[in-house]
Amino acid sequence: MFYIMTVKDHVRVEPKLFDLPVKESIKKQLEKVYEDYIDEDLGSVIAVLDILNVGDGILIPSDAAAYYESEFKLLVFKPMLHEPVYGEVMEITNFGAFIKIGPFDAMIHISQTMEDYVNFSKTGTLTGKNTKRVLKKGDQCLARVVAISFRTMPPKIGLTMRQPGLGKLEWIQDEKKRAKTMADKLARTSVKEEKGKGKKEKKEKKK
């Protein structure tokens, strides 16, 4: 999930940025520091949004740079266990698929792609044996995070779509339509039954 986080830190600004306004120089320095930055606690930094407060600069004799105690906002992406995530299928393999969620490529095993026996096609698709549902590159999906490991960078993330309300977005829409059709059918049946009871009661009263 995406978060906006407020951070306080001493920012080392390089001499080549001294000709810029202080806030601008700090932002540029932070953008360089947090480029491709991934941390288990913070997540992946997407952007430096704003510099909120800047203290007085400090110069250290052995270092040509200036240090500013600063407060700033970061846009970060941090996957959480069990949270639902939207993503796009980037690659199909014989063992599953890779789905882009935020800045990360997450892995979904072939057995977790749908409630069906799934076959891998040489054309680069995964197809359900009974449902005939097809998952291919470029499909938009809603999945759930079931595993996260920060032992490697980028982290390894495992997903599932074998739960109600998950899967390829077209599948979810189809399920909603079926559920609505079934609900409407049950409602009409209930109304007919109620009318039938009402007519029966009237006839009994006349007798």
pLDDT tens for residues 89-113? 999 999 999 999 999 999 999 999 9
pLDDT tens for residues 48-94? 999 999 999 898 888 889 999 999 999 999 999 999 999 999 999 99
pLDDT tens for residues 121-131? 988 999 999 99
For residues 85 and 100, is the Cβ–Cβ distance under 8 A?
A: no
Spatial distance between the Cα atoms of 207 and 192, rounded to a whole number of angstroms:
23
Of the options 1.10.150.20, 3.30.230.70, 2.40.50.140, 3.40.50.300, the CATH number for the domain spanning 84-171: 2.40.50.140
Annotate the chain with three-state secondary structure: CEEEEEEEEEEEECHHHCCCCHHHHHHHHHHHHCCCCEECCCEEEEEEEEEEEEEEEEEECCEEEEEEEEEEEEEEECCCCCCEEEEEEEEEECCEEEEEECCEEEEEEHHHCCCCCEEEECCCEEEECCCCCEEECCCEEEEEEEEEECCCCCCEEEEECCCCCCEEHHHHHHHHHHHHHHHHHHHHHHHHHHHHHHHHHHHHHHC
For residues 107 and 157, is the Cβ–Cβ distance under 8 A?
A: yes
Domains of the chain by residue range: 2-77, 84-171
Facing residues of 160 across strands?
144
Spatial distance between the Cα atoms of 30 and 28, rounded to a whole number of angstroms:
5
For residues 39 and 11, is the Cβ–Cβ distance under 8 A?
A: no
* 191 pLDDT tier (thresholds 50, 70, 90): low
CATH number of the domain at 2-77, please? 3.30.1490.120
Evaluate if residue 4 carries a pLDDT over 70. Answer: yes
Evaluate if residue 195 carries a pLDDT over 80. Answer: no
pLDDT tens for residues 124-178? 999 999 999 999 999 999 999 999 999 888 899 999 999 999 999 999 999 889 8
Model pTM?
Answer: 0.79
The pLDDT assigned to 12 comes to: 95
